[in-house]
Structure 1
Amino acid sequence: MLRKFRDGIKGRAGKVLLAIIIVPFVLFGAESLLTGGGGPAAVLEVNGQEVDGAQLGQELLMLRNQTAASMGENLDYAALSEEKLRPQAIDRLIEAALVEQAFDILALSTPERMIQQSIVQTPDFQVDGKFSNQQMSRVLADNGFNLNTLKQRLAEEMRIGQLRSAIAQTSFVAQANTDLLIKILNEKRRADLVEIGPEQVQPAEPGTAEIEQFYAEHQTDFVTRRSVDVEYLLIDQQDLLEPVSDDDVRAEFDLQIAQFEASERRRVAHILLEVGEEQSEQAAIEQAQALSARIEAGERFADLAKQYSADSVSAEDGGDLGFTARDGTFP
């Protein structure tokens, strides 16, 4: 899921798409993408369970990222519009709600340990074959995720997979099939055997006309495979190699060096302050200003990140998100 989006943002077209996603964040904030600027009003109801605008907005954003990643460099902006993606996002939310309700009826659940194991085994979160908190934080941040959203999505996918598997492995036998099987098992047949010895068979030599008639009726049985004679010339690549001098290599390097440039990378750390029911946007702004003042007064950024950041993964590393390109997700 994350690999598709990460591969999709490479190249010029990917950067254009990334700019389209980032501009609303800069101008209106993340909430405008998820709720349209208002509170989380219900947009649909599934058996009495409400689905609000925030959930629909999040599903639309995730579906848009996945669709764009599958297009590669050839982006179809019409296919990425809300008008095109909204029906698919609603179907996903309905399916997830129905599966969740079915799990509640069946008293089933997805163990937290299974979700954690899936996260640890995700290749995108590994460095040299081992799970890395820093790598996970970087990948989640690049794709607009947080740890809670990732766990929720994994739990939904696991529940859907378990329910589908249970249904697929369930079987029943129709009465008609049972009756047919009983008839076959109880079926009886009578056979008569007549033995004919060689002395009872009169040998006969076929005539020319009979041979020709048999050949005409079975011509395909006497067709041989077509064969051809082939002549070829073997050219060894080693025989065509010509030595290249150091001066020629240096001249070609000087000619091509203008095509390459190193991009600046910066190390990023953050303190995530969430805005929601427990804390208003104004309260979060005031807290951020207070933390900024404490940092300027000499307190360590890492200590404050461990104490106040809502990002539990990066908080353990003092808010550190690792290195990122200057034109990447972070400034």
Structure 2
Amino acid sequence: MMDSLRTAANSLVLKIIFGIIIVSFILTGVSGYLIGGGNNYAAKVNDQEISRGQFENAFNSERNRMQQQLGDQYSELAANEGYMKTLRQQVLNRLIDEALLDQYARELKLGISDEQVKQAIFATPAFQVDGKFDNSRYNGILNQMGMTADQYAQALRNQLTTQQLINGVAGTDFMLKGETDELAALVAQQRVVREATIDVNALAAKQPVTEQEIASYYEQNKNNFMTPEQFRVSYIKLDAATMQQPVSDADIQSYYDQHQDQFTQPQRTRYSIIQTKTEDEAKAVLDELNKGGDFAALAKEKSADIISA
């Protein structure tokens, strides 16, 4: 397939066609492809429609990418209406570029197999954990992008097809006659050079400069006479790996025995009380406990003060 692509790319006619496609887009701009707001698509390139949903997904993906890259700085850009309008236009321009390249790739009968798409997904570092493809991470990233697996696979297929086209055209060895003439002239060119040695110190000695002129020049060019702030630091490098000392169990026990107060806390005792209104009720509760009754259940049922139980 790549051989046929290179053959096609070397055709002067196809090169001209490819150039016309790109130049026509540059000259006419996006407006040549935009249709009125009453339609269900954001743009139409020849007979290929770019749906509003496709455009919004691409815009949201670009916005999420910028937010992750810029962090808090992105909120300032997002608040700028002019910037966001320009960003939307750039995303639409990119979709139109991709549509043009996709159409030309289909004319050359270029294509990417399902297996190639699959291998490209598996090889994407963003979808890997410890160097291996992770399906959960893959699905999580697609959810963040607002895309299904089929949508992402198709977008990747289009991208790989476009890259195949670009590589085929950029990798051709074909050169126009004008290009070869310019290259030959550049390689064969000659220069005539005359040299002269100028004694700067002698010239400077002939130029009288007053103290006032020196001070004035210094004031106007202070930055040229300043050096960045510098620091001299003294430090001791401590490497835990080289300072480790073997410690036996006996040494650990001895240190513990000598510093027990550092590893102990004063004893604390917490009491739970079942408070009754009469002595008879207290005896009845005690009998229940002696018989194996559950303290918590009896406290909840019998105690007059639930909080202290």
TM-score (norm 2): 0.44
TM-score (normalizing by structure 1): 0.41
